[in-house]
Chain A
Amino acid sequence: MICATAVALELGALLLLLRNGLWRAYMFFLAYAIWLLIGNSAILVTFLYFPAVYPALYWHTDSIDVVLRFLVVWEVFHQTFPNGSGLNKSLSKGLGIIAFGLLVFACATFWGYQNYTSLRSIHLALDRSFGFVQAVMILGTLLMARYYGVSYGRNIRGIALAFGGWVSLSTANNAMADLTNSFLPYWYYLRPLSFVLMMAVWIWALWVYEPNPPIMESEAAELSQWTEEWNRTISTARTIIRP
């Protein structure tokens, strides 16, 4: 039932992307939405008609999904700090180094997967390690945008917040499932339910085309006047402080 609802919502999200040409603006997100529909449809079919194959397919699909989720992270970053914007030029190098560090961290935490014996735990460890990093990346992008007063449109705001909430909840959920078996019954429901909730928010976010407002940038004029005013002020302040 939950899986069927998720597939229906994914189909809805895809149709919304195709309507009004939204997909042209959100290519990476479109790719992920297509993957979700294909992957979860396959899971639903195997669950109903080929139950023997279902567990293996579920976990392998989940592992591919972990990697493809970076498409959403990139879409959020790319839409918030578009190529060619001053903020992108200034911060992309430093943020790239941080992103690389986070990926190394994810790999390092996953490296300890030998501690887990069952097949399930390996996939949970993968999901947990990379899910955490993805949540941090999304949160970092949102905080950075807030710091510099960059506005969001409804589309990216909805996508980022729902995705971030889902991956962070999924991280905690996976860790708890591995921590104690008594949490497993909840894990089976909490994760798919939170996924369905994320899809519902995505549908809301994509209902109308509302991209991020463009970042206003200074025009190439009147540099000398501004710099002159600034230098005059600073030099006055210095003279007063250190006569």
Chain B
Amino acid sequence: MINLTLFTILGLVLFGSFIFIALQGSPKSLPDTSAVRAVTQIINLEGSSFANARRLLDDTDYQSLCSNPDLRRLAERLRSERKQLALMWISLLQNDLITLWQFRRFLIQRGVPSSLKEELGTLKSLALSLVLLNFIKLSIRTVGPFALPRATRQAGQLVDSMSKGAAVVLGRIPAAGWAEIERSWANSAA
């Protein structure tokens, strides 16, 4: 009975999925915009290239300002500005992760060897990283930028680990080139 009910539900879900895909139309021809954007941005990962994360999340200045009652207002302003900057930095890190993920898909699509296990591992790593970064953003919004300094600093390492994953894939390429990618993009954009 449960078996039959499950098949009924799953069958209908699958049918709905096919209808959804049919309505969505054909996927974009390769290479898609996001992948090529990833290639061009790969040299400049904005979130990762921010050098003063440690300073940004360090509450020493804030504490010293707070210790003087006359500077409390200034301390609050500093805290508020740091909060905005930290949120911006986390958003950039998220964009970096997505960029690296798109770049990896682009590489695999173009014949760079990989395995399903590695692909699933990357996807898992990306999902966990994005969840953690969102959690950090939420914590910054609710309790301020100095509450989870260590976790926030480690957010940068998530991007690093994604980069290493992509680097491993790239290391396996028998041959490839920027010129070829740019040519493909120009052809598809034309």
| Chain A interface residues toward B at CB < 8 A | 85-87, 89-91, 93-95, 97-98, 109, 112, 128, 131-132, 135-136, 138-139, 142, 145-152, 157, 161, 164-165, 168-176, 178-179, 213, 215-223, 225-227, 229-231, 233-234, 236-238, 240-243
Query: Which parts of B95-146 form the interface with A (CB within 8 Å)?
Result: 105-106, 108-117, 119
- Determine which of B15, B110, B115 lies in contact with A172 in the assembled complex, contact meaning CB atoms within 8 Å: B15
C-alpha gap A150/B27 in the complex (Å):
7
Main secondary structure of the interface of B (DSSP, over half): helix
Shortest beta-carbon distance, B158 to chain A, in Å? Answer: 10
Residue among B8, B42, B181 having the largest count of chain A Cβ atoms under 10 Å: B8
Query: Which parts of B135-175 form the interface with A (CB within 8 Å)?
Result: 156-157, 159-160, 163-164, 166-167, 170-171, 173-175
C-alpha gap A233/B109 in the complex (Å):
22
On chain A, the residues within 8 Å of B105 by CB distance are: 147-149
Closest to B51 in A: A240
Contact (Cβ within 8 A) A171 B11: yes
Contact (Cβ within 8 A) A90 B108: yes
Contact (Cβ within 8 A) A175 B175: no
Contact (Cβ within 8 A) A227 B49: no
Contact (Cβ within 8 A) A109 B3: yes
Stretch at the interface among B29-37, B63-71, B74-82, B83-91: B29-37
- Determine which of A85, A151, A161, A222 lies in contact with B18 in the assembled complex, contact meaning CB atoms within 8 Å: A161
Shortest beta-carbon distance, B124 to chain A, in Å? Answer: 14
Task: Decide if B5 is an interface residue (CB 8 Å cutoff).
Answer: yes
Interface size on B, residues (CB 8 A): 67
C-alpha gap A131/B15 in the complex (Å):
12
Closest to A136 in B: B14
- Take A219-B176, A227-B170, A240-B51 as given contacts and tell me if A164 and B14 are in contact as well, using a CB distance cutoff of 8 Å: yes
C-alpha gap A157/B113 in the complex (Å):
26
- Take A94-B117, A148-B105, A179-B8 as given contacts and tell me if A168 and B27 are in contact as well, using a CB distance cutoff of 8 Å: no
Q: List 19 A-B contacts (CB under 8 A).
A: A87-B109, A93-B116, A148-B109, A149-B28, A151-B29, A168-B15, A172-B8, A176-B8, A179-B4, A218-B177, A221-B175, A222-B179, A223-B175, A226-B170, A230-B42, A230-B167, A234-B166, A237-B48, A242-B160
Residue among B32, B112, B116, B117 having the largest count of chain A Cβ atoms under 10 Å: B116
- Determine which of A95, A218, A234 lies in contact with B112 in the assembled complex, contact meaning CB atoms within 8 Å: A218
Contact (Cβ within 8 A) B157 A231: no
C-alpha gap A225/B1 in the complex (Å):
61
Residue among B7, B43, B49, B159 having the largest count of chain A Cβ atoms under 10 Å: B7
On chain B, the residues within 8 Å of A176 by CB distance are: 4, 8
- Determine which of B9, B14, B21, B163 lies in contact with A234 in the assembled complex, contact meaning CB atoms within 8 Å: B163
Contact (Cβ within 8 A) A226 B176: yes
Contact (Cβ within 8 A) A87 B15: no
- Take A94-B117, A172-B12 as given contacts and tell me if A219 and B175 are in contact as well, using a CB distance cutoff of 8 Å: yes
Closest to B155 in A: A241
Contact (Cβ within 8 A) A128 B49: no
Contact (Cβ within 8 A) A213 B173: no
Contact (Cβ within 8 A) A237 B160: yes
- Take A151-B29, A216-B31 as given contacts and tell me if A86 and B111 are in contact as well, using a CB distance cutoff of 8 Å: yes
Told that A218-B181, A238-B163, A241-B53 touch, could you supply 5 new A-B pairs with CB distance under 8 A? A86-B109, A149-B32, A149-B35, A218-B175, A237-B163
Shortest beta-carbon distance, B7 to chain A, in Å? Answer: 4
Residue among B5, B9, B11, B180 having the largest count of chain A Cβ atoms under 10 Å: B11
Contact (Cβ within 8 A) A216 B18: no
Residue among B5, B17, B35, B157 having the largest count of chain A Cβ atoms under 10 Å: B17
On chain A, the residues within 8 Å of B166 by CB distance are: 230, 234
Residue among B3, B50, B105 having the largest count of chain A Cβ atoms under 10 Å: B3
